[in-house]
Amino acid sequence: MTLKNRRIILLVPLAVVLGLLCCPRRVSAQTKLYLKDGSYQLVKSYEIQGDRVRYYSLERSAWEEVPRALVDFEATERARREEEAAHQKELEEAHAVAAERFERPEESGFEVAPGIRLPGEEGVFAFDGTRVIRMIQSSAEVVTDKKRAAMLLALPGPLLKNRAYVVLPGARAAVRVPSLQPVFYVRAADELGAKLELVVVKSRKDSRQVEKVEWRGGITKPAELRAAVALERAQVAPGLYRLKPLQPLEPGEYALGELIQKKLNLELWDFGITGAPATSTAGDETPPALRRSDKPPKD
């Protein structure tokens, strides 16, 4: 995924997604089970039992059923094949990154340390103190809170907030950064480095939550709630920005995302901090300073 392919997050209205997973065989991990009305639901596994499809809902952590006649098996299988192909490509790219100890950039690349330079082309890179790591872009998606949707249907008027989540597939990112104090470099012609935010990502069973979106239909504007890490930002060369966390990062999952009019782009550079500190002058390792990008409306 190139920098030109970035897309802006779309805040979808609340809808009860009745789509549940289906396939003529039991499957594991995260699967999209499509219904014939075009909706789907994320499930861990499913199986056909007569005229019913039984599935394990990842959102509600419980077994549920749906009539077999409502399930679009062809769309479910097609989506599964596409996701497997995309996941395999990401793994191959991650293996290539892990296999190389140092980037071998052009001599004209910006020097981040004595003898270590960035590649000359556009991209987002992490420097862990000994090597330059090329970041890989991943696509997030908006998932509706169906439990909250069911409550809204049962109550008169906008008494509760609508709620949705922005999630990344998989429990962890393919790119792993060993240093607790990495420095990020962003080379792009559109001043991307001035708009990136470092977000703490919350790991779940088979996905990672980037942020929560809350709103009341017709009353309040959507509020995007996410935990962001404070950055020291500097333009070190034309079209090149350096982003440095103000405090060491805790081991866990993170993502760099572009903010456009305070909305987070769905194309993210996700990575994990493994916890092996790189050489640095910092003495204390404290948790990152978190902040909310927007305050949610009160119930």
| Domain extents in the chain | 90-292
* Average pLDDT of the segment spanning 200-206: 90
The two tokens of residue 38 are: 């075009």
Between 108 and 161, residue with greater pLDDT = 161
- Give CA–CA dist 238/120, Å, rounded: 12
**pLDDT tens, residue by residue, 253-284:** 999 999 988 888 989 999 999 975 444 433 33
d(CA 292, CA 233): 19
pLDDT tens string 93-130:
776 766 654 444 444 589 999 989 999 889 999 999 99
Torsional class of 239: left (φ above 0), alpha (ψ -120 to 50), beta (otherwise): left
**Residue pLDDT, tens place only, 235-253:** 999 999 999 999 999 999 9
C-alpha 232: how far from chain center? 22
pTM (two decimals): 0.56
Q: Which distant-in-sequence residues (6+ apart) come within 8 Å of 109 by Cβ?
A: 117, 118, 119, 120
Q: Is the dihedral of CA 263, 265, 266, 272 positive or negative?
A: negative
